[in-house]
Amino acid sequence: MNVSLYPARRAIAALLLLLAGASPLAAQGVAPFDDPDERQEQLEPPLSLPEGLGATIRPNPQAPSVPRVNRIADVFVAIQSCWRPPSGSGYSGQEITLRMSFKRNGEVLGQPKITYYNPGTVQDQREPFTRSVREAFVRCTPLPVSESLGRAIAGRIFTFRFIDAQPM
């Protein structure tokens, strides 16, 4: 072996090892001396969207009718305008929370899920109250959604919290 080539071979071998060690980092677009906090931010998943949209629906006889649903907030106003609580109820403490989704055309997607129910204090008003909530969705759906809103709401989770809080 030629002794004069030994340092050159050693330098080439060191360079190849250095390049081989740096290549996984280079493939990921990371320089070997980047800030570790910055690298951790790159590895963290992006923030998730909220799980769903929700609103509280209270009896409102003056709730405006919504001829066309163009905004997400209008979905809740439309349902509120369709809800007619049973006569004789009021401040009974009844509450029901429903989770549901809509199709693009404003129809209810699947079965609404009751996630909370408070029967309240007036036992003879329980069945009429839950029936009135069911009838609100029968009366209002399919919602008259615009095409762009239909694309935005399709499959998204909506939470409707109905509270019996009208004066007797």
The token pair at 27 is 């493939």
Of 32, 10, 164, 20, the C-alpha closest to 92 is 164
The residue-averaged pLDDT of 44-61 equals 70
The token pair at 15 is 């360079």
Confidence at residue 107, expressed as pLDDT on a 0 to 100 scale: 94
DSSP 145: B
Q: Where are the domains of the chain?
A: 3-43, 53-163
Confidence at residue 78, expressed as pLDDT on a 0 to 100 scale: 92
DSSP string, 67-98: SSB-SHHHHHHHHHHH--PPTT--S---EEEE
Does the pLDDT value for residue 145 go beyond 80?
yes
Pairwise pLDDT comparison (73 vs 92), residue with the higher score? 73
Q: How confident is the model at residue 168 (pLDDT cuts 50, 70, 90)?
A: very low
Q: Per DSSP, which regions of the chain are E strands?
A: 53-57, 95-102, 108-118, 157-163
The residue-averaged pLDDT of 61-90 equals 85
Name the one residue in this structure whose structure tokens are 């980047």: 34
Rank 9-13, 103-107, 126-130 by mean pLDDT and report only the highest: 103-107
Confidence at residue 99, expressed as pLDDT on a 0 to 100 scale: 93
Predicted TM-score (pTM) of this structure: 0.64
The residue-averaged pLDDT of 30-47 equals 61
Looking at the domain covering 53-163, what would its CATH class be?
alpha beta
Q: How high is the mean pLDDT of the chain?
A: 79
For the CA atoms of the chain, what is the radius of gyration?
31
* Angle value at C-alpha 57, between 61 and 74, nearest 5 degrees: 85
Angle between helices 72-82 and 126-140 (to 10 degrees): 130
Confidence at residue 1, expressed as pLDDT on a 0 to 100 scale: 52
